[in-house]
Structure 1
Amino acid sequence: MASNTRGAAVSNVGRVRSNNQDSGYAGHDLFLVADGMGGHAGGDVASAIATNHIKQVDREYDDPEVARETLKNALLEANEALAETVYEHPELTGMGTTVSAALRVGDFMALAHIGDSRIYLWREGELTQVSTDHTFVQRLVDTGRITEEEAAVHPRRSVLMRVLGDVDAHPDVDSWILETRPGDRWLMCSDGLHGVVKSELIARILANPASPKTVADRLLKASLDGGAPDNVTVIVIDIDRGDQPHEPVTVGSAAAPLSYVTDASRPRAPRLPLPSLLLHPTRPVQVPTHFEPQTEDYLGELIEEDERRHRRRRAFWISFAIIAAVVLAAIGVLGYQWTQTRYYVGIAPDGNVAIYRGVQQQVGPWHLSHIYQETELQAGDLTDFERQQLRQTTNPSSLQDARGIVGQLSHGG
């Protein structure tokens, strides 16, 4: 069938970073976002090299499986290109990039993904995340150790488990095929968007029938309004909506000449050992960051640290619960003791007038009063007015007052 794909790409440095290490591409049939890491050691170089390499496969395909395989291989070849660049420029050691890419083939999308950038599908009013974050906290979520809500605020939420770069010669790239329909709207973004803007707001913005460019700009604005501590790159793709074609556009660091991003005048960073290159920061840093842990020792340390954090948190809440229980028990005891200093006059179950100790309330099945002294005065000997007064509860402040009321009733009788 004849197909029409409309897309738009926007990228912004954000409100905190000094340079844009993201790259994005919205082509004829290929769309991708790459989030570079490595600080001044070359995050912008990594995302630019990967984007410019992968976008060469932007052409028509007859078979979605061929497109999927081609796209996955393009990411692996980009990984080799990054390794070669580091070999030629040792000062770029530790650079890397995430990549999330989609290649349309008729009624299908061939997808490839590595890292923590995301691919979403908005269809018939529902937003679905179709990619899986390759992060330490996502692994904890997948294994049931923490919830999605805890992952959003976890201190290790920035640790990536997989990226393209000079760390792994054979990275594990996710690739799969999904059906797409007319009216679908796809979103690809760096964590500068999904790490700041809640999915509910993303869905509301995507629901607007405006053009992909307008929607992408609104998503960018939402991130900037939220503080945008990281670079923000957004790709919006419409499937068979309207007939206005778009020209391929490259944004972010990949839009600059590669000779600029590898220029010898750029700042040089010291070569650092791998464990120093593990975080994808949300704030500016002075050293290369955001890299995939490659050693079991390091991963074990992260897991042990997380377990210690959970133990500390459990100990805190257990202590809090014990203290709260003690305080509530003390309040209950003091409150009950106070009620036993109060007296009132009422009618006992056998119909005699009695002095009650306590108050006329109850907590669950427990009454807060009991008969202190039962008189020989029967309720039947009282006038209707006197009986009504007793039923409406008399709460004297002392035993002496209660006895005075009984005396008045006896005298009146």
Structure 2
Amino acid sequence: MKTKGYRLNAATGIHKGDRDYQQDQVTLLSHPRAKGCILAVLADGMGGRSGGRKASDQVMLTAQQLFERYSPETDDPIATLKQLVLEAHTVIKLTAISSEEEPHSTVATYLINPGGDCYWAHAGDSRIYHFHGNQLVKRTLDHSYVQTLVNRGELTAEEANFHPQSNILTGCLGTDDEPKIDTHFITRMKIGDSLMACSDGVWHYFNETELGSVLLSLSPREASEFLIDKARSRAKGSGDNLSLVIVKFDPLLR
């Protein structure tokens, strides 16, 4: 997809890993009316086989409905992303009441406008990474117990990855409390930039140096396949569901 000053190159990847069923969901949407406007959404569902999938499905449905109505010229992108998270959260809570299940989900989503300005939002421990070349510019911080310990200086990021309580979240969709939503704004994406959203089934097995090298050297399709294969190998038969969505900002083709 060509737009002003760069070409968008993108791919999604998903695998059930070593689980019996898939609760992750991921999508990459092109705006129906605005060329160069895209929305990436990833959700890691939790709460048993059907409950987790119902939760992540609801995130996808909400995203599709809101993005169809979104106007890049007039609407507030951050407000739209927050609305996506909160509306999905509300419906997931209602699903729990009607189905007698406990569906929950994370969400990591980024929206790129035709002018190259970018916005993201997340709730839970699915992450968004922004690289320029192989250098990390910024990433989201997990809403998790171990991230709280890292923030306090009680753990390093490396120690947190292997902490026995690393799977405990302090916020996500579908809980009694409204989810904490962190947002970020990038004024203009540049040639050489990459954005990746991924579930913990992916990021758990890589450091930032490795991710930057992969995103620099491979196309989004190749990178998604490589990261899923390598994460599965490193999980040694005990891996979670895996999902990711990558967008690279490449030079315009001559």
Structure 2 residue 196 is the aligned partner of structure 1 residue 194: no
Matched residue, 1:318:
none
For 1:328-407, what aligned pairs fall within 5 Å after superposition?
Answer: none
What CA RMSD, in Å, does the superposition of the two structures yield over aligned residues? Answer: 2.0
TM-score (structure 2 length as normaliser): 0.86
Matched residue, 2:167:
158
TM-score (structure 1 length as normaliser): 0.54
- Give the counterpart of 1:22 among 9, 14, 24: 24
Q: CA separation of 1:62/1:240 partners in 2, compared to 1, >3 Å: closer, same or farther?
A: farther
Matched residue, 2:12:
9
Matched residue, 1:100:
108
Structure 2 residue 136 is the aligned partner of structure 1 residue 127: yes
- Give the counterpart of 2:47 among 27, 38, 45: 38
The 8 Å contact of residues 12 and 26 in structure 2, kept in 1 or not, is answered as yes
Using the TM superposition, give the Cα deviation of residue 40 of structure 1 relative to its aligned residue in structure 2, in angstroms: 3.0
Give distance in 1, aligned partners of 2:91 and 2:41.
17
1:38 partner amino acid? G
The 8 Å contact of residues 25 and 55 in structure 1, kept in 2 or not, is answered as no
Q: Secondary structure in 2 aligned to 1:201?
A: helix
The 8 Å contact of residues 105 and 172 in structure 2, kept in 1 or not, is answered as yes
Give distance in 1, aligned partners of 2:220 and 2:162.
31
Q: Could you list the runs of 5+ residues in structure 2 that have no partner in the other structure?
A: 31-37
Give distance in 1, aligned partners of 2:206 and 2:250.
27
Give distance in 1, aligned partners of 2:42 and 2:151.
24
Q: CA separation of 1:79/1:241 partners in 2, compared to 1, >3 Å: closer, same or farther?
A: farther
Per-residue Cα deviation, 1:60-109 (whole angstroms, up to 9, x for no partner): 5136x71111111111011111112222212x2x2100000000022211
Q: CA separation of 1:43/1:242 partners in 2, compared to 1, >3 Å: closer, same or farther?
A: farther
Per-residue Cα deviation, 1:31-53 (whole angstroms, up to 9, x for no partner): 01111111235111111111221
Using the TM superposition, give the Cα deviation of residue 30 of structure 1 relative to its aligned residue in structure 2, in angstroms: 0.1
Q: CA separation of 1:82/1:140 partners in 2, compared to 1, >3 Å: closer, same or farther?
A: same
Give distance in 1, aligned partners of 2:82 and 2:60.
13
Per-residue Cα deviation, 1:3-56 (whole angstroms, up to 9, x for no partner): 643321110000x21001100011220001111111235111111111221133
Give distance in 2, aligned partners of 1:217 and 1:137.
29
The 8 Å contact of residues 34 and 100 in structure 1, kept in 2 or not, is answered as yes
- Give the counterpart of 1:89 among 99, 113, 117: 99
The 8 Å contact of residues 197 and 222 in structure 1, kept in 2 or not, is answered as no
Matched residue, 2:240:
230
The 8 Å contact of residues 137 and 154 in structure 1, kept in 2 or not, is answered as yes
Matched residue, 2:73:
62
Using the TM superposition, give the Cα deviation of residue 203 of structure 1 relative to its aligned residue in structure 2, in angstroms: 1.9
1:80 partner amino acid? T
Q: CA separation of 1:211/1:150 partners in 2, compared to 1, >3 Å: closer, same or farther?
A: closer
- Structure with higher Rg: it is 1
Matched residue, 2:225:
217
1:12 partner amino acid? H
Q: CA separation of 1:215/1:89 partners in 2, compared to 1, >3 Å: closer, same or farther?
A: same
Per-residue Cα deviation, 1:269-306 (whole angstroms, up to 9, x for no partner): xxxxxxxxxxxxxxxxxxxxxxxxxxxxxxxxxxxxxx
Using the TM superposition, give the Cα deviation of residue 129 of structure 1 relative to its aligned residue in structure 2, in angstroms: 4.2
Using the TM superposition, give the Cα deviation of residue 141 of structure 1 relative to its aligned residue in structure 2, in angstroms: 0.8
Matched residue, 1:185:
194
Give distance in 2, aligned partners of 1:199 and 1:125.
9
Q: CA separation of 1:4/1:70 partners in 2, compared to 1, >3 Å: closer, same or farther?
A: farther
Per-residue Cα deviation, 1:128-177 (whole angstroms, up to 9, x for no partner): 44211000010011011222232122111111000001422x22211221
Give distance in 2, aligned partners of 1:86 and 1:46.
9
Q: Could you list the runs of 5+ residues in structure 1 that have no partner in the other structure?
A: 244-413
Using the TM superposition, give the Cα deviation of residue 211 of structure 1 relative to its aligned residue in structure 2, in angstroms: 2.7
Q: Secondary structure in 1 aligned to 2:136?
A: strand
Matched residue, 2:83:
73
Q: Secondary structure in 2 aligned to 1:121?
A: strand
2:111 partner amino acid? L
Q: Secondary structure in 1 aligned to 2:106?
A: strand
Give distance in 2, aligned partners of 1:239 and 1:62.
22
